[in-house]
Amino acid sequence: MLRTLVVLTAAVALTACGAGKDNKVKEDDRPVVSVVKAEAAAGASALRASGLVAYQREPVLSFKVGGVIDRIAVDEGDYVRAGQRLAWLRPTEVAAGAKEASAALEVAQRNLDRTQTLFDKGLVAQARLDDAKLAVERARAGSDAAGFNRDTAVIVAPADGLILRRLAEPAQVTGAGAPILTLGEVQSGLIVKAAFPSSAAARIKAGAPATVTVTDSGGAAFKGRVTRIAGKGDGSTGAFDVEIMISAPKGLRSGMVAETTIDVAVPGAVTPGAAASVRIPAMALLDARADQGSVYVVDAQGVARRRIVQTAGLQGETVTVIGGLAPGETIVASGAAYVRDGAAVAIAR
């Protein structure tokens, strides 16, 4: 009996050791992750995005007729006045085109006269007379378009402004409507056009105050306000263009890169428990696209649950989440690639 008791005791001990080993293996199988607490975003009512400084109106100037460019009197960076002559075509080239068009009109008119005479004598049908009249109308339109005058062969500045681009050179052959110069109208004012995700654009209202920070000007900040919000998002990104008018844009130039901050109202809860905007590390966001992504939220039992969240822009190494996550919730910051939805995780100390 003593020998039997010893054997049973040893067996129980071995079984207990084996169970402990199995539990340890199962515990070690859990992916090790680091976690952070979602923090309420200070100034969560601010939306941020990058954009470019530009004049509100930047028309592209061109000739109304084709020909050879005789001279371009301005260059990029030149300031021009309304009504100033900026470029013109060679008169001989335009005059030659007008002469050809005039000759074609004369031929069409003579053909119409002969056809009218034959029609009056009953020798041609009405359809032939109609064709001759149509040919005259077409020739007359071509003659008017090719007519040489100061309006069609000369580019005149439509307003005071700055030459932003020079897209052609003298002696170059150009067609009617081909871009020659780009003008920035100074009276239209400077704006910043920035792209915001749809969830952020829905919170922006025309007239909302904004701050524009331009790195190229030493990080100077300028006050502004929202003047226009695009009615349709970009077909590829889904983002909406927002225009911000700069109040006193002294020292700024078209093409400078700017960071915009727009003050908006804090939205209501999107999901239960998510009443405020929060910031999380950018590496914690998975499957990010436009204004949406997902995170793993770890509960009190150490189980990770995948959750869809709405985002409103990147600031440095953090992302602002405006829906789907509440302040204080624990999320996986690193190691999410090895986590499965509903699986237990081991939190690194």
Give 262's strand partners: 47, 210
pLDDT in tens, 231-254: 898 888 888 999 999 988 888 889
pLDDT in tens, 87-143: 988 876 555 555 666 677 788 888 888 888 888 888 888 888 888 888 888 877 766
Task: Give the pLDDT band of residue 5 (cuts 50, 70, 90).
Answer: very low
Residues in Cβ contact with 21 at an 8 Å cutoff, skipping those fewer than 6 apart: none
Task: Give the pLDDT band of residue 151 (cuts 50, 70, 90).
Answer: low
Separation of alpha carbons 12 and 5, rounded Å? 11
Q: Tokens for 300?
A: 């009190």
Cα angle value 106/112/114 (rounded, 5°): 105
- What is the pLDDT averaged over residues 184-197? 92
pLDDT of residue 45: 61
pLDDT of residue 319: 82
Phi, psi of 118, rounded to the nearest 5 degrees: -65, -35
- What is the pLDDT averaged over residues 16-38? 67
- What is the pLDDT averaged over residues 306-324? 80
Task: Give the pLDDT band of residue 165 (cuts 50, 70, 90).
Answer: very high
Exposure string (b/e) for 148-185, b if CB count within 10 Å is 16 or more? beeebbebebebebbbbebbbeeeeebeeeeebbbbbb
**Distances in whole angstroms, Cα of residue 344 to Cα of each of 28, 239, 285:** 11, 36, 19
pLDDT in tens, 36-73: 988 876 555 678 888 999 999 999 999 988 888 989 99
| Structural domains for the chain | 32-44+267-347 (2.40.420.20), 48-57+187-263 (2.40.30.170), 60-184 (2.40.50.100)
Contact 166, 76 (CB under 8 A): yes
The secondary element (H helix, E strand) that includes residue 127 is helix 126-146
Q: Tokens for 133?
A: 């009249």
Q: Give me the percent of the chain exceeding a pLDDT of 90.
A: 29
The alpha carbon torsion through 327, 329, 332, 333 (nearest 10 deg) reads: 30
Give 295's strand partners: 307
Residues in Cβ contact with 343 at an 8 Å cutoff, skipping those fewer than 6 apart: 30, 31, 303, 304
Q: What share of the chain is helix, strand, coil (3-state, %, to 5)?
A: 30, 35, 35
Task: Give the pLDDT band of residue 1 (cuts 50, 70, 90).
Answer: very low
pLDDT of residue 60: 96
The alpha carbon torsion through 229, 49, 319, 40 (nearest 10 deg) reads: -70
DSSP for 212-258 reads: EEEGGGTSEEEEEEEEEE-SS--TTT--EEEEEEES--TT--TT-EE
Per-residue pLDDT at 4 exceeds 50: no
- The reported pTM is 0.55
Of 226, 234, 231, whose CA–CA distance to 197 is shortest? 234
What one-letter code names the amino acid at 177?
G
Contact 48, 261 (CB under 8 A): yes
Contact 241, 52 (CB under 8 A): no
Per-residue pLDDT at 6 exceeds 70: no
Separation of alpha carbons 47 and 261, rounded Å? 6
Separation of alpha carbons 187 and 57, rounded Å? 9
